[in-house]
Every structure is written in C-alpha cells, then in structure tokens.
Amino acid sequence: MAFYTVMTPPPGSGGLRSEIEQARLMPERFSWGAFLFTGLWLLGRRLWLATLVFVLIFAGLVYLRSRFGLHPGALTLSYWTIALFLGFEGNNLVARKLARQGWRLADVVEARDLAEAERRYFERALAAYPPVPRAPIAAPRQPTPPSGSLPIIGLFPEAKGR
C-alpha cells in the first residue's frame, strides 16, 4: 500500500466543493522519472529554482573536471547521487512548491493505486456534506391503445389473421 498526499488549492479559488474537486494527489514513493530524467523532470514539474541549482552544481562539477582533472567516474557518481536524491525527494519538492503557492495539506490517504486513493479521499471529504437532493422520477406512462382500425404495414397485408 502506498501513501498519497492530498493538496487542495488556496482559499478563494471557488467554493469548498470545487476546492475538493481540484485537489492534487501526489504519491509518497520513489519517483523513477526524477531519477532517470533529472533535469527534464524538474523542468516538466516547473521547479525552476531546483533546476537552476541542479544545472549550477553539474556545471561546477564539469568545470572541476576540465580545470583540475577530476576523474570522470567522480562526475558520473555525483550525477547519479543527485539523481537518487531527486528520486527520493522529487515529489516532496513538488508538494513544497504547491505549499509556497498557498495550497494546503488536506489529507494523507493510504491506497493501492491512484484511483483508489482518489475514491477514498472524495468519500472522506464529501462525507460532511448532505447528499444532493435528486429530482423525483416520474412514473412511466402507460401507452394508450389506438382507437379505430390500423393500416397494415409489412410484406403480407392480405394475411387476414392467419
């Protein structure tokens, strides 16, 4: 079972019900995308400051390699160390970015997958609201039998009751 952090948008972005509908669920697990595609993943999540820090650190390491003869293995090891850190902490960086923008931590949900986590969160969040009243369903009308003779439609109109 995985844990999912639920963040809701800042107040004033609609009613409480629309805030619940706009909630973002982020898994608390290792992010393979951040591990394998570090810089691109940071850009894709719009983490500008973290991307800048990543680029500066990596540029500094490349400079140390060219200027002072740093071993290429050290450069590779440092890159994968940063990638491993982002794999573990990438989703937390996204949550912190949202918190700085005014999003609030609404809940932490335990579930097998994202669909189940969403279902559990919506059940909990909407439990405080009274159910929406439904319009009464009208009873179906009984068809009235036609009066008079009906024209015969079909291939054999002269069947005469056979």
> What is the Cα Rg of the chain in Å?
31
How far is 28 from 104, CA to CA, in rounded Å? Answer: 16
pLDDT for position 32 = 95
Q: What is the pLDDT of residues 138-154, one digit of tens each?
A: 778 877 766 666 666 66
Contacts of 55 (CB under 8 A, 6+ apart): 39
Residue 76 contacts residue 83 (beta carbons within 8 Å): no
Cα–Cα dist 93/91, whole Å = 5
**69: alpha, beta or left, given left = phi > 0 and alpha = psi -120 to 50?**
left
Separation of alpha carbons 126 and 118, rounded Å: 12
Alpha-carbon gap, residue 26 to 6, rounded angstroms: 7
pLDDT band, residue 159 (cuts 50/70/90): low
Q: pLDDT tens digits for 40-78?
A: 999 999 999 999 999 999 999 899 889 988 888 988 999
41, 31 Cβ separation under 8 angstroms: yes
Q: pTM to 2 decimals?
A: 0.71
